[in-house]
């Protein structure tokens, strides 16, 4: 099986991907560059060891926005799993274009989202990735990444609010029915969580208005399951989209790296 990794600023999502392309098991770990390769290797072996029949890992493929952690993961993979880490990056061989002014600055995770959306949901698409940042990836019917938008992630924005105020409490996720909070917690939940859904729906409406009115909206990322059901514009929730894109990228590039 293939071990795929989406290395984000806060967390890394690991997935075991079958030969058929499905993500059979997934785990989340902290993207901590301070870990030693041996510490991370022990974690990887322990996670895989929880499976009834631990599989043979064919390769470890990572899309990363945290190069120092990628280096640690590469060493851990080589020492403890016996595989080299292959970095997922855009190349023309992926079969999609980066139709933007600064293609070299497009994150590998956004490239994976574009490829995943193109192959899993053909046609114009807007991928919303709810992570440390909330990204909007616009993908045309030919799979070209046209650009998008980046907004503060929900948890990051909330943490910034709480860290800069002396009297506001930390809150659990919540969606009060009324838009007028009667308690401080409700006020915060409305502002943070309902505010996030309005940002999503508002940006989607503007993108559709400027581009494709019928573009499918796909939500992914760690917070997608919590936030997307409250967004009227989201058509599909696919929390494995990025991992699927990484895996399909490996399939497309494998003849070149074999």
CA angle 132, 133, 134 (to 5 degrees): 125
Tokens 């503007």 found at: 206
Question: For residues 8 and 6, what is the distance between their CA atoms, to the nearest angstrom?
Answer: 6
Residues, the chain, total? 258
Torsion of CA 87, 92, 95, 99, to 10 degrees: 100
Question: For residues 4 and 88, what is the distance between their CA atoms, to the nearest angstrom?
Answer: 10
At 45, which helix (H) or strand (E)?
A: helix 37-49
Question: For residues 136 and 155, what is the distance between their CA atoms, to the nearest angstrom?
Answer: 17
Contact yes or no for 220/130 (Cβ under 8 A): yes
Nearest alpha carbon to residue 130 among 62, 232, 231, 202: 231
| Residue 137 is a catalytic residue | no
**Which listed residue (6, 38, 101, 109) is catalytic?**
109
| Catalytic machinery residues | 109
């Amino acid at each position: 099986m293939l071990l795929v990794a989406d290395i984000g600023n806060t967390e890394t999502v690991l997935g075991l991907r079958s030969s058929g392309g499905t993500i059979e098991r997934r785990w989340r770990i902290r993207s901590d560059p301070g870990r030693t390769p041996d510490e991370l290797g022990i974690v990887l072996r322990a996670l895989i060891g929880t499976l009834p029949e631990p599989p043979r890992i064919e390769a470890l493929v990572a899309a990363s926005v945290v190069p120092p952690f990628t280096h640690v993961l590469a060493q851990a993979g080589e020492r403890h799993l016996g595989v080299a880490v292959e970095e997922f990056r855009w190349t023309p061989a992926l079969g999609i274009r980066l139709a933007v002014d600064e293609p070299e600055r497009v994150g590998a995770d956004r490239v994976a989202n574009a490829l995943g959306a193109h192959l899993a949901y053909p046609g114009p698409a807007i991928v919303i990735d709810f992570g440390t940042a909330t990204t909007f990836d616009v993908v045309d019917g030919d799979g070209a990444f046209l650009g998008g938008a980046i907004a503060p992630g929900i948890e990051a924005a909330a943490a910034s609010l709480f860290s800069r105020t002396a009297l506001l409490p930390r809150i659990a996720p919540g969606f009060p029915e009324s838009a007028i909070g009667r308690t401080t917690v409700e006020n915060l939940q409305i502002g943070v969580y309902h505010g996030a859904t309005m940002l999503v729906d508002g940006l989607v409406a503007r993108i559709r208005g400027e581009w494709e009115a019928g573009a499918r909206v796909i939500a992914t990322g760690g917070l997608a399951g919590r936030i997307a059901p409250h967004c009227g514009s989201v058509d599909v929730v696919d929390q494995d989209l990025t991992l699927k894109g990484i895996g399909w990228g490996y399939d497309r590039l494998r003849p070149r790296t074999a």
